Structure formats: structure tokens, C-alpha cells
Structure 1
């Protein structure tokens, strides 16, 4: 029943009293028929919407709190703003001049997603299965010694029950029990019954033996053939053995034992909680379902189990039986499991499916990573820790949890760390890890770096890469992320609980603010194709979104897994542009920055690579004016390459020089700057040097040069003696190289 308004009768508080709720805009307020069956309040509103309310009497009112806004002029009026809350609201009703509440109103806040009931159940069941799998991998005896304690608070009980319910209160479990009842395991057994001797067609050995020993005998006539055998009478009835098919087998006794255990535990919980609470109603429904199974005539023939044959081939292999065995093992451990993070999901009547989605995705991502990396077993074991008398799942929203792993093949060996809710601290200067602006905490962070170094060293040397994922349950379609252009959207999120393009902007924030981040992606339960946006030409850096749905089939994880595989393949490419860029960042920022504020040619077009730090200038010596004239005429500059004095060490900086600055003896500064042409120097033999009219018979390294055309260098002189590599005395003639940045620091300033 959907409409614009509902009247909630409150006769239990005062006869004739009611609460009227009206929707604002096109949002519906409704009374749901099957609400009680699902442990919900009958009267329901939607999350992220606004509703007006009014008590029929001015004496009654709600006090203002985070969801209720009381009208300042009329206390019995007000507004309901559930924001992102999902679950049962129990709002205390107050009456004027009475301090304590006189009653309460139960209202259910529905998720905007129509599938939230199924999603909630599926994700809780999946988390339970993940936990059980983890528990069964841990070879610790403490996991088998705990007994469920129902004397604790109702919140802990509800937490336990949600785990238990996710195991046994499912359609699959009910179908399994039905399958066993309709096609049970049976055995043949012998039974005896007394049969009239005249009805026995063929005598067997045990019948013959009874001819003499049987009771209730009848006398034989004198002419009977048996009289000669000294048999004067025969029993009127003989015991006859029959083979009977029975369901009273050890395996069926186990099924009955398991269902009876489930029922007992649920009735214990029912007795420990208050009536008219959500847990009471939900456990009542589960009890009814279990009683319906056990009241079937099938179980009337089955006796009480004396011993549990868990290793029975029937229990382990036969369809139906193996499923019950699995649920029994899960149930036994689920009853001992507590989860502090569960308070975020269902404490106080909440049914926070969005937060549950975040927890569920952690295990889903972990499952994918386990297929690709060798996960450290101790990190998996650390997910569930024994407390004094229980087992505690160590996964809590806002608290970091890290799982480490290793990837190795014949190409490269890598370390991995998968973080849940890792906080990257703010205001961190390079090269420290963290955010260079505000503190940030993505839901999940996948970090990868080379195997042979620590995570700290990888951060400082730009060798680590972070890829972030954020869970957004409320998104249905990508259009909700990328088709909005309103920059004020983020302001409205807190009010409406509606997540739109802000989510993708948040991914930009992660990528741009958290150091060493190469990717940030939204995970949401939609049906679209994945969205991938490359920052440049490669997979990383990038942004995007992947649909991952709480479903047993077609859940979207195949696309996400393919992406993670491609991320690993990207790391195997040692010539990747991302790795090249990471090195450049490390190399550029490892030293304090230089400063050049002198006129230089602009870096654009063909001149785009004109970066002073990467341009080398060869500072060379000429002997006299004749040598200088030869250099200018031939447009060659020669330096000796033999082992005699004056030969230059052939380093990459000298060989890749872009400019030549010439000086001679007694020069205090020089403005003789030339442009070096070509792809590098050439070697001229002494014969070639003779042809070039050079007076010395020797081999030389020749740089082709030309006059500098850039106006920024016209009339400029440099005090080359102030350069750190310049040597006085006989070493003054040895050429050396400096960067253009270094050279521009020794410009001679005019007075």
C-alpha cells in the first residue's frame, strides 16, 4: 500500500490517538504487508527523503534528534529526515508535563534499492561463509571449545542470530531439507511376525526348527504323514522373518539432531530477548520454520542419535545430506562468532545494507587477490581472533586491516598489501607517504612494489603504486556518477544521502592527493559495463568504476578480476611509461629545487624539451685567435681524445651537450656561445684534420657548431670561473660540461 500519507494508530498510548505522516514531493509512505515476516515495522518510508508528521493531539510530540526535526512553534508537528539510515526507527513518544516517554512509534526506513532485502541476506550469508572458511583453515584447538553464551546483551544476541540465520533461514536450506525428506537415505532391516502356518508357502530352515519348539499347538490326525515321524502336533503360527526398508539410519538421525540443535539454540535466544523486538520476531519466524520441518512424519520414524558419523560417505557425498553437514559445521562456528563491525550494520534496529556492502566487498576483493597472490597465512588467521569465550571477526569500519601477499613468476617478483580503511595522513611533504593535503581514507587500497625492498624505501624511491577502491552501494547506474555537472552536488550529499558525480570526484581526490597513487575506482552494485579512463596511454594511471553485485551468479567480479590481472601485467612491463614517469619524479625531486629567472628560449613545439636542468653546455678552451678563427670558419670545435694532457673524459654529459661556451687564457668571462648541431660528436682522424687545415697531426672529437640565433643569449656574458667544475692553472684548458641551469647562475650582471 503506497500513498502520500498514512495514519498510524496509537491506541496503546491513548484511545483514538494517531500519528499522520505525509510524504514530501513524489516520495511514498506505505504500509507493507509482509513487513512483520521480514522483521520490519509495518509502516515504511524511504531513506534520503523528507516527510512531515503530526500527532492528532497537541499534547504529544517527538523530541528533536538526528532524524526528527520538531516544529519550533507547534511541538506535535515536525519533519522526519532519515538521511542514509536504513532499518527500524523506534522513536519515543513524549507527552507534555510528563518526563518519561509514554510509548514509541516503530517506522521502517527502506533502502532506495528494491533488492536491498535480498542483498542484505546474501551479503550476510556470504560473510558468514567467508568467516567459516577462515575458521576451518585455522588449526587452533580453541575454535572447538567455545559454547554459545545467551546471557549477554540483546545486541550481541542479535549479532549472533544474524550469523546463524544466514546459515539456516534460507530458501536453499529449506529446499535441502525437503530434498532429504522426499528422497531419504534408507536401509533394509529384518523384522519378525507370526503367520498362520497354513499361509506359509515355502518352508525355510527357521520354519522347520519351529515345528518342534513352537507353542499354541494343534493335534495332528492319526493318519498324518508326520505321525510316523513322532510329531503328534504342530504350532498354529510360526514366526516369519521379513526384510523392511527403514529411514532410521545414522545419517537421518544426524539430520534430525542438526535440526533439533538449530531449534534449541533459536528457542534459547527467544527466551533471552524481550518480546516485540526485531530479534524476537525474526527468531520466532525461524523457529516456526524449523518446527515445520521437524513435525514432518518422516522424523517420527527416526530415533535419537547416539553417535554422529561425520565421516559417513552419505553425509559427505549424497545431495542434500552434504549441504546439511556443511550448514551444521557453519552453524556450530557461527554461534560462537562475534563481530564488532556488525554494530555498524544492525545495531539498534538498523539494517545498514550500504555498510554491509563495504564489508562484503572486502571479502570479495580478498577472494580475487587470493587467486593472484600468495597470501600470508598469518594475516588471514589474524582476521578472526579468539577472545575469552568467543571468536571475534577483526573487521571494523574505520580501523585499518592489512593483508600481505607475494606475486612471482619468471619475469618479476612483487610484494602486495591489501588494506581495508587505510588512513593516509595529511600535510605530508615529499617523499613521505600520505596525502599532501587533507587526511584521506579509501575503503580499500591495493599497494604493489618490488619484492627486495621495504615498503618505506619503495615510498621514498617512487617504486610503490597504490590503487584505491571505494564502495558505493547506493549507485545503480554509471549515469549517476558521470552525467552530473553541478559542483554543488557534494553539499547536498549530507542532506539527501544521494551519491552522484561526487563519487568520481572523490576518486580524483584520492588519485591526485595521495602520493604514489596510480588509480582510483568506484565499486557499485549496478549492471553497466565497467568504466575505465586512462590518464595517458596505459592502464595506469587511471580512474573508473566497476559494477560488483551481491549475487551468486553474474556478480560482475569477472570484469574486476580481469582489471586486476591487467594491473599485474602492467607491472611486468619494465619499460612502461608509468615506471619511467615514476623514476623522473624521483630523480627530479630528490634534490632541492634550482632557480633560473633569466631570459631563456620558450619550450614549445620543436623546442618542447627545452628544460634548463636537462640541457648540457660544454665549456671549452681555445688556444689563440688563429684557433678561434678556424673554429668560426669551419664551424667545428675539436677536443683531443687521446691520453695526452688536454684530453676530455668522454661522459654522457659532454657527448650530449647542446651548447658550447668558449674561453681562452686570461678571460674573466665569455659571451662566445655556440649551438651544437647534429646528433652528437664525430671522430676525425689526423688525415681528415689535415684536410680541414688544422695544424696539429692528431685525432680529434669534433662537434659541429653554429651561431646562436636565440635573442635571449645575444650580448650575454657568463663568468665561467665561478662554475664548480672550472679548474685554474694548467687544468683551465680541460673542457667540462654543466647544465644550462648552472650556467645561467653565473651571468655577468651589468652595473
Structure 2
């Protein structure tokens, strides 16, 4: 439908017709089943635009800049535009009189979600949230102490919140199935009974009945021809006969009837409350009708009123159908009193924000999943419920709620922290948690770090990993990865279309870019993933392991048990990655910490070999040069001929102590006696030095070795051409010693060596 006309009866006796025109096809509806869901039959779709016009110029619609905008012209004020945006739910618009701006009527639209089946999703999610909260409350309160009169006058703004929780109990499939099971197979019992029967209708004569032949009153005389005349002159017209009969009027069925009436009383009080809005009254009426339908079952027609609650009955606790209704009843009082600090975001002022509800619903589902997976103590969940006065669920968008615990495995202990709407604020201190650009607030964050340190220490030492998740109910199709088979023209067309979408505000890749923003801006982020109610799971690895990565998981209220499996597998893979102490993630974290923990204020702009190929690891700060000494020309000839350089090691004075810098030296710079400016640079074989004894050194032709042990370096040859013609003043190096120790070998970094270059 692309056009809709709505007849509006005004309270001044007049009437007008509102015409609505859809700018996009098939986004305007007149729903036949709207009453069943408490909705307006006139329905628009979220994310769409519509033009409207009243047939009479003397009236106009109340402007709402968020959704409805009237024409700027005073003469054409009865026309305008409706932009639904992300609003979902009942939207009422006042009709005003142009003459005096007085309200003379109203018209209501239902703005429906673009998602097919959103009504069922909404009902399922609200039912799950209610069940979680009431079960949590029953862990803290006694379910036997119930309060059945609900005073909704204390906080009228919470009426719909409380009713929505109770309605989710009554409207649940489990409630309907339970009532069907009770009606189909009610519990009955045999009882002893007695009734008056005529003598001809008595089939079995017991002793009690025979005695009544002589004792019973209201007797008639027997004729002389009667066979019993010789024994009795008279016989009673009727005698009491004892028998056993089956009945459903038992305490358990009385309890079921009592539960239905308790629910009906609450919903009726909502329906007739003076401050309840039209939508609230309409939905309460629908629930009342459903409860009255249950009470009209033939089973309850002859059920008497309850006088004692049979709470210890095995039937209520175990039998199918009865057990479910009993559980709903235990949850009922708490649900009727429960308010939600974040509920106004979901269904305040007529809204039915299924996207926001999906975000809250996922929180509870993820909380359960992570609690089971990582054994988070249940006592942490109690922080969600404030029982000090009213029963308040303290889950609200923008508030951080943190549940944490230690997850112990055979090989490692891990700290697990799950946060909702945690804010990562800007900070220029990279050792602190946060963002290095703008503030970010993912919907959910799973944080993992080693079990024996605090999160602050883990942040400082790059040992912590944040994994972020965002709930995206409205996503229909994922655009996480491009087709690698596209040619250059197709890629160019895609990028051009992406630019046009961005200009129109319909950017399909915005969610993907947001995940990239989390990954890149929030420090120590291992991954960012979309959660949406679809069918397709995608996980893209940044390298060879599960994290770092980006992706999406389909978690649907309609098929939760099946759809959550991919997410559970992902959690298993993440845990396995943390248990692998040789993972690339561990190595990257260490090298990041190693580099960033040092204050590097030095700069080096000298010509050096480029770090690629065999020189890929040539970093001036981490490339070391051995400064060696030769006694005379004969020793220098021996060094260059044998391509070996030896220096004493051990405990004697002037011996070279083994260190990482000495062992990993890449270059050798030689100098002789009084040769303080030298350019004798040679490249060493990268295998590292060997240790030779004095005897072995003699065998290879070295004359008169004075020490017991020597380090032997293999010389590869002349260095890269970038070093050609350079000379260095070794006196300026930190390791150089004067006097008799000037011949001692020492190592310096290539960066330090280049600072003393003289030509």
C-alpha cells in the first residue's frame, strides 16, 4: 500500500480526513490483526519518509521535530512530512485547530520495525528478561510471602513497565501450553458420596442400605400381594446410597483458578486506572480477555473457591502443566512490583523499541553464557536488583555494570570481566585503559587477563585483551568482506556507490567501520564483533589466530539455542588462544610492551641499509656492533685471512662478558693501537660466536694466546654499501676505556655508533 486515508472524528463535532503518502513502496499498511497486539491499525515502517495532508485547511497536526514536520507556509500548514527514523511503537499526534491552536482530536500510528517477525521477537525477549529478573529476585526473597494487591498509584510512569513484565508471563507460550495441558488432562480424585435413590434404582444392596429399609422415613404402605408384605408393612420411597465418584474440585485445581483470578485482578486494575494511557488500557483489556477465556474452560465451572494454598502439593511441583502455572504464580508478585530503570528506553511513551530491547536481552543471555562458561559467581548478579525499597532492575543504557571472576584451568588462571556499556575514555597515557582518540562505549566488552595481577597492571604491561560486541537488531545483511574476484572496475564502482550511500545517510558499511574503530582506537582490543538476529556468522582473522579479528554472530530470539552455538565455539577458541603460551597474540603483546615501555627520544637520520629481505630485522636500536682491537698488522692479516676474530672471555681483567648484545653482534668494528678514528667495519656471520680454548686456538694458527678461553666470531665480509667511506670516533662511545683497558672489546648499538660518525 502506498496511500492511506484515515477518518478522524473531532471532539468539536466536526471531522477531517488525513491522507498519508509513502515515498517508498510497500511501507504503508492497514493491519487487520493490530487489535490483537494492542496496536493502531494504521501502520508505518521505521526508517521511512511519508507525506501527509488534511482535507480541511482549518486543522493541522501538532509538530514534533523528531518525527513530524509541518509545511513552513501558514497557508499550507495542514501538509507536511513524517520521518519515522528509528522510532518503533505507537505514535499519537494531536490534531489542532488553526484558528486558536486548540486540540480538537488525535490520530495514532503504529511505527513497525522493518524486521519480519519483530512482534514475536519482542514478546520472547521481554519474557526472557522477566524470567531472569524474577528468578533472581526469588533467590533473595521468600516466594511464600506474596502481596496480591498491586498499588500502581505510587509511580504512574512505571505502570506500563510492570504490566509489560506481567503480560510477558501470561502471553508466554509456556503459559498457554500449560493451560492446554491442564484442560486436556486435569487432575481428579475419587471421593465418597451419598444420594437418595428410589428402591427400584438401587443396584447394590449393602448392609447400610438394607438397614435403611427399616429406618428411613417417608414410607408407603405395601399391598397384600407384595412379596415383602410378610416382613414389612411399609417401605421407604427412597434410601440413601453410598458410592464413589470422580471429581476435579480439588485444592490443586482451585489453586489454578485462583492464579488466573489473581492475574485478572491485576490486569483489570491496570485497565481501569485513571492515569493509564489508551495503549496501556487496550493491551490490559486484551490480557483480561485471554484470562477470562481460560476461566471459561469447562474444568473451572464447578471448581469452588480456594481456602488454603496447597504450596507443598507434589502435583503443583511436579505434574506437567500445573508445575508451570505454579512457577508463573511464584514469579507473578515480583514481576508485578518490578520496575526497570532502563525500561523507559524500550516502551516509554508508547514506544516499542525492539532494537533497544534486543540490546538488553542480549546482555542477559551473554551474562548467562559467560557465567556458565567461566563460572562467574552468581552473587555478582545481585547488583542488578535493588531491593532496598521498590524492586528495581538497575540495567540502563549508558551505565556500566561489571561482573567478574577468576576462571581456573589446569594450566592457567584467567581474570574474566564482562561489562555492559563500558566507556573507554580518551587518555594520552598509553599505559592506562581507554582510547587514544575519542570516547567510545561498546554495548558489551569481554576483558581477559592473567589471574594473579590487577587489571591496571595488565594494562600497563600489555597483558590484557578487550573483546567488544555491539547489538544490531536492524541489520538485514552483512557486508564484512568484499569479493576478492572483483576486477578493478567493479571495485571502483563499489567504492563510488559507498560514497553515494554515505552522502545519502544509508551507509551499509557503517557498522563494519564502527568495529574497526573499536579495534583501532581502544587500546589493547583483541576483536570487535556485531551481534544480530540473522542467520549468517562471519569471523575474520586479523592474522592466523582467532584474535585479533572482526566479525558477526547471528543470535536470534526465535532460535536462540541453535544460534548461540557459533558464539560458544568462538569463546572456546578464545580461551584456547589464551591457554596457548606460544601464541602470536602473546608475542605481539610482549613486543608491543617492550617497544612502548621505553622512552625513545633519540633520532637517527644517517644513511643505513634498508630493513628488507635478509636485513628485515635491522633496527638501529636493536642491532649491535662489536668494537674489537687488533695488536698489530700481523694479527690484522690473520683476522682478515682466516675471517675470524677472537677476544678473551672469562673472569680475567679485560675479558669480554657474555651478554645479549655481545652474542647477537651483527657487525665488527676494528681499531688498532692509537687508531681512534676507524672505518674498519665488517659484517659478521649471523650464527653467533663460538668458544675456543687456548689449545684449539693454537691449532688454527693463532700465535701465543694469553687467555684460557676465547670468543670466536666468523666474519662474513665487507658490510652494505651504505657504510662505505664512513669513519667513527670510538673515544666518544660509552663503552670505551682509556689506558691499558683501551684494547678491551665491548658492544654498542648501531644507533649509538652512528652518533659518533665523523665522515
Q: TM-score, normalised by structure 1?
A: 0.93
Judged with a 3 Å threshold, the aligned counterparts in structure 2 of structure 1 residues 172 and 581 are, in CA distance, closer, same or farther, namely same
Judged with a 3 Å threshold, the aligned counterparts in structure 2 of structure 1 residues 188 and 662 are, in CA distance, closer, same or farther, namely same
The answer to whether residue 619 in structure 2 is matched with residue 611 in structure 1 is yes
- SS of the aligned residue for 2:103 comes to coil
Counterpart of 2:109 in structure 1 is 107
The answer to whether residue 403 in structure 2 is matched with residue 403 in structure 1 is yes
The answer to whether residue 587 in structure 2 is matched with residue 585 in structure 1 is no
Q: What pairs up with 1:137-536 in 2 under 5 angstroms?
A: 137-138=139-140, 148-217=150-219, 234-273=235-274, 277-388=278-389, 390-479=390-479, 485-486=494-495, 500-528=508-536, 530-536=537-543
Q: How far 1:501 sits from its partner (Å)?
A: 1.2
Q: 1:676 aligns with which of 662, 680, 684?
A: 684
- SS of the aligned residue for 2:403 comes to strand
Could you tell which deviates more after superposition, 664-673 or 677-686? Answer: 664-673
- Answer yes or no: is the 8 Å Cα contact 2:38–2:279 preserved in 1: yes
Q: How far 1:685 sits from its partner (Å)?
A: 3.1
| CA offsets 1:584-637 (integer angstroms, 9 cap, x no match) | 000001011232211110011222111112212112222333332322222211
| CA offsets 1:301-347 (integer angstroms, 9 cap, x no match) | 11111111222111122111111112112222111110011111111
- SS of the aligned residue for 2:342 comes to helix
Work out the CA distance in 1 between the residues paired with 2:322 and 2:143.
26
Work out the CA distance in 2 between the residues paired with 1:127 and 1:134.
11
Work out the CA distance in 1 between the residues paired with 2:177 and 2:292.
15
Q: How far 1:86 sits from its partner (Å)?
A: 0.8
| CA offsets 1:208-250 (integer angstroms, 9 cap, x no match) | 4434433234567899999999x76554432110101000111
Q: How far 1:701 sits from its partner (Å)?
A: 1.7
| CA offsets 1:500-525 (integer angstroms, 9 cap, x no match) | 21101110110011000010011111
Q: How many residues align?
A: 743
Judged with a 3 Å threshold, the aligned counterparts in structure 2 of structure 1 residues 139 and 173 are, in CA distance, closer, same or farther, namely closer
Q: How far 1:721 sits from its partner (Å)?
A: 2.7
Counterpart of 1:40 in structure 2 is 39
Q: How far 1:667 sits from its partner (Å)?
A: 3.8
- SS of the aligned residue for 2:245 comes to strand
Could you tell which deviates more after superposition, 207-216 or 112-121? Answer: 207-216
- SS of the aligned residue for 2:678 comes to coil
- Answer yes or no: is the 8 Å Cα contact 1:147–1:336 preserved in 2: no
The answer to whether residue 571 in structure 2 is matched with residue 595 in structure 1 is no
Work out the CA distance in 1 between the residues paired with 2:482 and 2:157.
40
Unaligned ranges ≥5, structure 1? none
- SS of the aligned residue for 1:75 comes to coil
Q: How far 1:466 sits from its partner (Å)?
A: 0.6
- SS of the aligned residue for 2:655 comes to coil
Judged with a 3 Å threshold, the aligned counterparts in structure 2 of structure 1 residues 534 and 584 are, in CA distance, closer, same or farther, namely same
Q: 2:719 aligns with which of 693, 709, 723?
A: 709
Work out the CA distance in 2 between the residues paired with 1:488 and 1:721.
64
Q: How far 1:499 sits from its partner (Å)?
A: 6.2
The answer to whether residue 79 in structure 2 is matched with residue 81 in structure 1 is no
- Answer yes or no: is the 8 Å Cα contact 1:450–1:463 preserved in 2: yes
- Answer yes or no: is the 8 Å Cα contact 1:475–1:524 preserved in 2: yes
Counterpart of 1:12 in structure 2 is 10
| CA offsets 1:28-74 (integer angstroms, 9 cap, x no match) | 32221221221111211111111111111222223252111222122
| CA offsets 1:362-405 (integer angstroms, 9 cap, x no match) | 111112112211213332111111142x2111111111111112
Judged with a 3 Å threshold, the aligned counterparts in structure 2 of structure 1 residues 499 and 146 are, in CA distance, closer, same or farther, namely farther
Counterpart of 1:25 in structure 2 is 24
Work out the CA distance in 1 between the residues paired with 2:37 and 2:84.
20
Q: What pairs up with 1:709-748 in 2 under 5 angstroms?
A: 709-748=719-758
Work out the CA distance in 1 between the residues paired with 2:91 and 2:694.
97
Q: What pairs up with 1:550-699 in 2 under 5 angstroms?
A: 550-552=557-559, 555-593=562-600, 594-697=602-705, 698-699=708-709
Could you tell which deviates more after superposition, 463-472 or 138-147? Answer: 138-147
Judged with a 3 Å threshold, the aligned counterparts in structure 2 of structure 1 residues 176 and 699 are, in CA distance, closer, same or farther, namely closer
Work out the CA distance in 2 between the residues paired with 1:39 and 1:375.
40
Counterpart of 1:122 in structure 2 is 124
- SS of the aligned residue for 2:406 comes to strand
- Answer yes or no: is the 8 Å Cα contact 2:529–2:551 preserved in 1: yes
Q: How far 1:642 sits from its partner (Å)?
A: 3.6
Work out the CA distance in 2 between the residues paired with 1:391 and 1:382.
12
Could you tell which deviates more after superposition, 51-60 or 166-175? Answer: 166-175
Q: How far 1:113 sits from its partner (Å)?
A: 1.0
- Answer yes or no: is the 8 Å Cα contact 2:143–2:330 preserved in 1: no
Judged with a 3 Å threshold, the aligned counterparts in structure 2 of structure 1 residues 554 and 254 are, in CA distance, closer, same or farther, namely same
Work out the CA distance in 2 between the residues paired with 1:666 and 1:6.
101
Judged with a 3 Å threshold, the aligned counterparts in structure 2 of structure 1 residues 341 and 499 are, in CA distance, closer, same or farther, namely farther
Judged with a 3 Å threshold, the aligned counterparts in structure 2 of structure 1 residues 362 and 275 are, in CA distance, closer, same or farther, namely closer
Could you tell which deviates more after superposition, 128-137 or 321-330? Answer: 128-137
- SS of the aligned residue for 1:210 comes to helix
- SS of the aligned residue for 2:688 comes to coil
Judged with a 3 Å threshold, the aligned counterparts in structure 2 of structure 1 residues 431 and 438 are, in CA distance, closer, same or farther, namely same
- SS of the aligned residue for 1:532 comes to strand
| CA offsets 1:440-496 (integer angstroms, 9 cap, x no match) | 111111000000000011011000001111111111222488689458869968976
Q: How far 1:296 sits from its partner (Å)?
A: 2.8
Work out the CA distance in 2 between the residues paired with 1:78 and 1:652.
77
- Answer yes or no: is the 8 Å Cα contact 1:47–1:82 preserved in 2: yes
Judged with a 3 Å threshold, the aligned counterparts in structure 2 of structure 1 residues 65 and 631 are, in CA distance, closer, same or farther, namely same
Could you tell which deviates more after superposition, 318-327 or 625-634? Answer: 625-634
Judged with a 3 Å threshold, the aligned counterparts in structure 2 of structure 1 residues 381 and 422 are, in CA distance, closer, same or farther, namely same
- Answer yes or no: is the 8 Å Cα contact 1:470–1:523 preserved in 2: yes
Work out the CA distance in 1 between the residues paired with 2:145 and 2:498.
49
- Answer yes or no: is the 8 Å Cα contact 1:480–1:499 preserved in 2: no
| CA offsets 1:158-202 (integer angstroms, 9 cap, x no match) | 111110101002344233213212211000111111223454454
Work out the CA distance in 2 between the residues paired with 1:425 and 1:143.
46
Work out the CA distance in 2 between the residues paired with 1:449 and 1:147.
49
- Answer yes or no: is the 8 Å Cα contact 1:493–1:499 preserved in 2: yes
- Answer yes or no: is the 8 Å Cα contact 1:481–1:500 preserved in 2: no
| CA offsets 1:87-129 (integer angstroms, 9 cap, x no match) | 1111222222314333222111111112111111111111111
Unaligned ranges ≥5, structure 2? 484-492
Could you tell which deviates more after superposition, 166-175 or 591-600? Answer: 166-175
Q: TM-score, normalised by structure 2?
A: 0.92
- SS of the aligned residue for 1:17 comes to strand
Q: How far 1:661 sits from its partner (Å)?
A: 1.7
Work out the CA distance in 2 between the residues paired with 1:732 and 1:193.
128
Judged with a 3 Å threshold, the aligned counterparts in structure 2 of structure 1 residues 142 and 702 are, in CA distance, closer, same or farther, namely farther
Judged with a 3 Å threshold, the aligned counterparts in structure 2 of structure 1 residues 378 and 719 are, in CA distance, closer, same or farther, namely farther
Judged with a 3 Å threshold, the aligned counterparts in structure 2 of structure 1 residues 425 and 551 are, in CA distance, closer, same or farther, namely same
Work out the CA distance in 2 between the residues paired with 1:486 and 1:701.
60
